């Protein structure tokens, strides 16, 4: 008959913990121990807690670090932390939000985009330059006697002024829409970078905990080996 698995009491939750889920507070960083002691003053360096409680306080500790740096967590930071807690990817949610937020463009918006695209191209510059040269040539060289727009080309200046007055706000409309896209893209990059940074921080925390845990196990094994060696030496001397 196999022996029953030894259990321990978690100092935080008060629930029994199996040896596989047992974590000694000696393997935790002092900053994390101090953070746990704020809610559990009886928690000490020789206490025992479960892996579930440890992970919970790791996320709380990470949230407190963000709050110190930012003052107050916004929707983006809370979304990042929830995704880390759920071990879920963030890009899927961002893609869904982006697709949901992409409303159909209106006729005016499409016209503004096309005008801005054409107005900022070499095709527009060259074609408009040719138009001005033709206008001036007709009024100076062709219709010398009765030009419809004699020098200093007041009608041409009026057309250019009207064109600039209409083209400028249309281009600004398109630029505003592009700035909104850039802001959304910057928010997405910020959330992904923040999630990566926090996950790397958690990974370092887990690796440090694993190293300390292995070191404690090695020390315990060495202590047992020393005791066994002493027992063997004592038996040899008694013979």
Q: In this predicted model, what pLDDT tens digit does every residue of 174-208 receive, in sequence order?
A: 888 888 888 888 888 888 888 887 788 777 777 77
Residue 1's pLDDT is 38
Instruction: Give the C-alpha separation, 35 to 79, whole Å.
Output: 23
Q: Where are the alpha helices (DSSP H) in 71-153?
A: 75-85, 91-101, 107-119, 122-137
- Are 159 and 135 in contact, with CB atoms under 8 Å apart? no
The confidence score (pLDDT) of residue 213 equals 64
Give CA–CA dist 236/230, Å, rounded.
Answer: 10
Q: What is the pLDDT along the chain (239 residues), one digit of tens a residue?
A: 344 557 778 888 888 878 777 787 777 777 888 888 888 888 887 788 888 888 888 888 888 877 777 767 777 777 777 777 776 677 666 666 655 555 567 887 788 888 888 888 889 889 989 999 999 898 888 887 788 888 888 998 999 899 888 888 888 888 888 888 888 888 888 888 888 877 887 777 777 767 766 766 676 677 777 777 777 777 777 76
Q: For 154-165, what is each residue's pLDDT tens digit? A: 998 999 899 888
Give residue limits of the domains in the chain: 7-89+191-238, 107-188
What is the largest distance, in Å, between two alpha-carbon atoms of the chain? 138
pLDDT of residue 95: 63
């Amino acid at each position: 008959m196999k022996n029953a698995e030894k259990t321990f009491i978690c100092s935080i939750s008060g629930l029994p913990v199996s040896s596989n889920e047992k974590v000694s507070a000696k393997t935790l960083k002092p900053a994390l121990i101090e953070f746990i002691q704020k809610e559990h003053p009886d928690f000490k360096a020789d206490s025992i807690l479960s892996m579930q409680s440890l992970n919970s306080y790791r996320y709380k500790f990470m949230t407190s670090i963000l709050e110190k740096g930012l003052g107050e967590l916004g929707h983006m930071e809370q979304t990042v932390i929830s995704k880390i807690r759920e071990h879920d990817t963030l890009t899927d949610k961002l893609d869904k939000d982006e697709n949901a937020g992409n409303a159909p463009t209106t006729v005016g918006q499409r016209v503004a985009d096309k005008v801005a695209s054409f107005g900022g191209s070499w095709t527009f510059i060259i074609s408009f330059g040719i138009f001005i040269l033709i206008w001036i040539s007709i009024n100076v060289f062709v219709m010398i006697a009765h030009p419809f727009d004699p020098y200093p080309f007041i009608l041409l200046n009026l057309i250019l002024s009207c064109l600039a007055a209409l083209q400028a706000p249309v281009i600004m409309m398109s630029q505003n829409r592009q700035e909104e896209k850039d802001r959304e893209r910057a928010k997405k990059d910020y959330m992904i970078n923040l999630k990566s940074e926090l996950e790397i921080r958690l990974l370092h925390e887990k690796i440090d905990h694993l190293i300390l845990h292995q070191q404690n196990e090695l020390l315990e094994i060495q202590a047992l080996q020393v005791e066994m060696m002493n027992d063997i030496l004592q038996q040899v001397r008694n013979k």
